[in-house]
Structure 1
Amino acid sequence: MTAEPRMRSERTAPVQPGGGRGLGLLRTPAFWVVLAVVAVGGVRMSFITVRYAGTYPIALTTATLLFALLAVPFWFVVSELDFLEREPPSLMAIAFAWGGLVATSVSITGSAALDDIIAKVGSPHLAADWGAALAGPTVEELAKVLGVVAIVLIARDQINSVLDGVVYGAMVGLGFQIVEDIVYAMGAVALAGRGDDIEPVITTFLLRGLLSGVWSHTLFGALAGAGIGYLVVRGDRRLRTRIGAAALAVLGAWASHVLWNSPLLRDGLGNGAVALLAVLILKGLPPLILIWMLVRAAHDREADYYTAQLATLDDTELITPAELDALRTGARRASARSHARARAGWRAWAAVRRLQHSQARLAVELSRGTTDLSPWSYDVRGQRRALQRLGHPEGVVPEGKGPWRRTASAVFSTALAVAVLWAVVSSLGGG
């Protein structure tokens, strides 16, 4: 076996035990209240859908398909954030529905009303310049963060770490982003006045989907959700400290949204794709970096907590010291799977992934104080035997490969993101 895992004992922020296996949502009064609110939002959004479906059926179908496809990678990334203690799909779906149906329907009317107030209290000129930056974020961020609060009310035991708040906040933001983008696309079709034409849909998809999607509502929702997660989980801190942290996170989401919608740098930094790309990065990069740092810190604390649970087993058939180390980060888990594929093929890659999932489930059961661990232990041992048959008995990171692979992956991902943004900007005439 390889070297002992690196323990980060200096991190003392608590992570609560994994949520209960049975959600019992149907027995929770708050669930029915939330379901009713989502249903009302769905009815309101259906009126808009029916109106567009009757006039622009092809454009609506195209917009729905394009933005639904865009949601798939976002959903996958958000789901993978909390690898060790995964969130129930039912709650993820409720969060997504809140963002797409409740927050969107509230924001359509609420933002317009607040924009009118800004014009009356301030001036029409102020509303024209700053209405979108002040009215939209104010209504939308409050409506979205209430979705995370709704998850807390119906399933408090599922909020075990700040990372859980990030996941649910991001999922609310994703639902909002997808549905709002479809509405904007259909608005662009109507404004173009060329009938059932898909060209405005494609343009909206490139602008609001690919250009803005990286640092838009999913990101703002994640930031606000982190604050709600902190408020719920950090019982070791004073209530006013937790409330202050939650308010600061929501304020940060609002400020990031204001910056993104603001008329600042409206005229850009010059002409061409480089100038437009620079504006996008200047506005979008600060919140992106902030949420990345929050996710990294929350993930590390959660990883320390759950791997410490597994370390108490002292059974190398269930988990080895090197596998404990590999389980700590997404990059090292991916490196262990890649190492298995290089040595024993794709079946070994899949077997290591299944082993990692089984070990994570076992860690959650340990955190719950489950006395009979035999079902989960049996699952882990079964995955171990599958790996042994493939000639790769341990899901480990090869010596000296972890940090290099992480750096290379980050560089490649950054380069790919810049290339995609460049291509989109150029296709829209920015070059």
Structure 2
Amino acid sequence: MVAMVRVGVAAYPLATALAVGLFALYAVPFVLVARSLDYFEREPPPLVLAAFGWGGLVATATAVRADAAAHDLLAKLVSARFASTWGPALTGPTIEEPVKVLGVAVIVLIAGRQINSVVDGFVYGAFVGLGFQVVENVMYAVNAVALAGRGDRVGPVVAVFLLRGFLGGLWSHTLFSALAGAGVAYWVLHPGRRGCELCAAALAGAWGFHALWNSPWLADGFGYGTAGVLAALLLKGTPALLVILLLVRSAGRREAAFYLRKLAGEPKVATERELAALAAGGTRFAARRFAYARGGLKLARCVRRLQRAQARLALDLSRDLPTRAAEHRAEVLAMRQQLEGQGHPEAYAPNNSGSAGGWFWAVGCVGAAVLAVLLAAAIRALGGG
């Protein structure tokens, strides 16, 4: 893997640098979302980096050679045409998903005490998949430059970035590995037969979604050109996204309910409306946005600091750490005093759910429009329109 990158830097320094920079920036929103999911108990940065490194180095290095060997074997056993058409759907997930989920298994073996909920497995799996996705996309971008045969040009890099980043990235390795990681975490937390069965179901789901995405089905876009291709890709990718969203929502609510029970009954620490606001990312954001509307950035930051202090206090109480709990309780009370001094005694937003839902649909509509524009631009860049 390192040798491949070295060759790319030597032959196409500008294109390789752009590919690395673009996909590094592209990873930032994924990192922020994954970190925000585990709001109450943040995973240790060294373990998160280890998960990312496993996906970006170990998994990709293994998959590159194994995928090529499996493709050749499939061509010999069936036919070259079958391997070319169905090889990515059969060999890709069969090799890549087990290699990636091994990264989560290694983290369980090294630091099993960090797996306290299904969300933990989701986060580690997501970072393994993100590492794989970023490095694989950089490789595809550099290969596209080489295949173009026009020297150190950035056009192929931009085209790959648009196609594999914005179109395929929403339901690619990050989601597949997150689902598999959640299954592993469930088995760790429920080591009986049911845990094993649900872990196997999660692994099968990751394999199935990966195979569906790589399959040649609907490749012609129903015969409707660019719009049809866009619709077909959304149809193939949306099931994985919906399953992950439902899983994260359910697991996140369970985890939040566990920690928030530690704060119940102390209005000075957290009121009932604040507990409801802390339960989900959307309602936490709505509380900060409401504070911003009332008192600007300063008040919004106060609400954010209060929420983080409340989360840390809940974690300390759950782990029976009285000294740290006392420190964070004092922090909560100090932030409460600041909010009261600014005429904003509670960190919540009226009509949280409706406000969050409106933002969700608005962002979804804008995202769909941007996606269509990016797809059209990528097709033009590749010379297809």
Tell me, yes or no, whether TM beats 0.5.
yes
Q: Give the Cα–Cα distance (whole angstroms) in 1 for the partners of residues 286 and 218 of structure 2.
A: 41
- Report the Cα distance in structure 2 between the residues aligned to 1:152 and 1:390, rounded to whole angstroms: 45
SS of equivalent residue, structure 2 residue 113 = helix
Match for residue 340 of structure 1?
291
Specify the SS of the correspondent of 2:322.
Answer: coil
Q: Which among 181, 201, 206 is matched to residue 162 of structure 2?
A: 206
Cα offsets for 1:242-289 (capped at 9, x unmatched): 111111101110110101011111222123332111111110011111
More helix by share: 2
RMSD: 1.3
**1 CA distance for matches of 2:376 and 2:11?**
31
CA distance, structure 2, for counterparts of residue 331 and residue 54 of structure 1: 46
Structure 1: distance between partners of 2:332 and 2:70:
55
**Aligned residues of 2:86 and 2:215 also touching (Cα < 8 A):** yes
Q: Which deviates the most, 365-374 or 158-167?
A: 365-374
Find the aligned partners of 1:391 and 1:406 in 2 and give their Cα distance.
24
Q: Which residue of 2 aligns with 1:296?
A: 249
Find the counterpart in structure 1 of residue 171 from structure 2.
Answer: 215
Number of the residue aligned with 2:190: 234
Paired with 1:163 and 1:207, the residues of 2 have a C-alpha distance of 29
Q: Secondary structure at the match of 1:344?
A: helix
Residue of 361, 368, 381 corresponding to 2:333: 381
Within-5 A mapping of 1:247-326: 247-311=200-264, 314-326=265-277
The AA in structure 2 aligned to 1:241 is: R
2:287 counterpart of 1:331: no
Give the distance between the partners of 2:46 and 2:340, measured in 1 at CA.
Answer: 35
Gaps of 5+ in 2: none
1:356-395 map, 5 Å: 356-372=307-323, 373-395=325-347
Letter in 1 for 2:17: T
Contact kept? 1:162, 1:230, Cα under 8 Å: yes
Q: Distance in 1 between matches of 2:41 and 2:366?
A: 30
TM-score (norm 1): 0.86
Query: Is 1:421 the counterpart of 2:371 in the alignment?
Result: yes
What residue is the counterpart of 1:407 in the other structure? 357
In 2, Cα distance between equivalents of 1:293 and 1:325: 19
Distance in 1 (alpha carbons) for counterparts of 2:366 and 2:126? 22
* Partner of residue 6, structure 1: none
- CA deviations on 1:293-313 (whole Å, 9 max, x unpaired) are 1101000101110111111xx
Aligned to 2:104: 148
Tell me the CA shift for residue 343 of structure 1: 1.4
Contact 1:306–1:367 (Cα < 8 Å) also in 2: yes
Comparing 116-125 with 351-360, greater Cα deviation is found at 116-125
After superposing on structure 2, the runs of 4+ consecutive aligned residues of structure 1 that deviate more than 4 Å are none
For residue 168 of structure 1, what is the aligned residue in structure 2? 124
Amino acid at match of 1:320: T
Q: Is 176-185 or 365-374 further displaced after alignment?
A: 365-374
Alignment length (residue pairs): 380
Q: Measure the CA separation in 2 of the matches of 1:224 and 1:155.
A: 18
CA distance in 2, matches of 1:104, 1:130: 20
SS of match in other structure, 2:266: coil
Amino acid in the other structure paired with 1:289: L
Cα shift readout 1:109-138 (whole Å, capped 9, x = no counterpart): 011111111112222222111111111111
Deviation at 1:234, TM superposition (A): 2.5
Separation in 2, partners of 1:250, 1:417: 29
Distance 1:103 1:271 in 2: 37
1:224-243 Cα shifts (integer Å, max 9, x gaps): 111011111125xxx22211
Write the deviation string for residues 184-206 of structure 1: whole angstroms up to 9, x where unpaired: 00011111111111111011001
Report the AA paired with residue 190 of structure 1: A
CA distance in structure 2 between the aligned counterparts of 1:339 and 1:406, rounded to whole angstroms: 11
Query: What's the secondary structure of 2:223's corresponding residue?
Result: coil
Is the Cα contact below 8 Å between 1:112 and 1:135 reproduced in 2? no
Judge conservation of contact 2:277–2:287 (CA < 8 Å) in 1: yes
Shift of 1:421: 1.1
Aligned to 2:300: 349
Match of 1:137 in 2: 93
Does the 8 Å contact 1:231/1:245 carry over to 2? Answer: yes
For structure 1, the 5+ residue unaligned runs are 1-44
Kindly provide the amino acid, as one letter, of the partner of residue 253 in structure 2. D
Q: Which residue of structure 2 lines up, in the alignment, with residue 244 of structure 1?
A: 197
Alpha carbons 1:276, 1:425 under 8 Å: kept: no
1 CA distance for matches of 2:322 and 2:166?
A: 48
- What are the residue-to-residue correspondences of 1:77-96 with 2, within 5 Å? 77-96=33-52
Task: Quote the sequence identity (%).
Answer: 49
Q: Distance in 1 between matches of 2:159 and 2:11?
A: 19
Structure 2 contact 221–230 (Cα < 8 Å) conserved: no
Assess if the C-alpha contact under 8 Å between 1:344 and 1:391 holds in 2: no
Q: Give the AA of the match of 1:341.
A: Y
TM-score normalised per structure 2: 0.96
1:363-410, Cα deviation, whole Å (9 max, x unpaired): 111111223321111121222222223221220122xx2121122022
The reply on whether 1:56 has 2:9 as its aligned counterpart is no
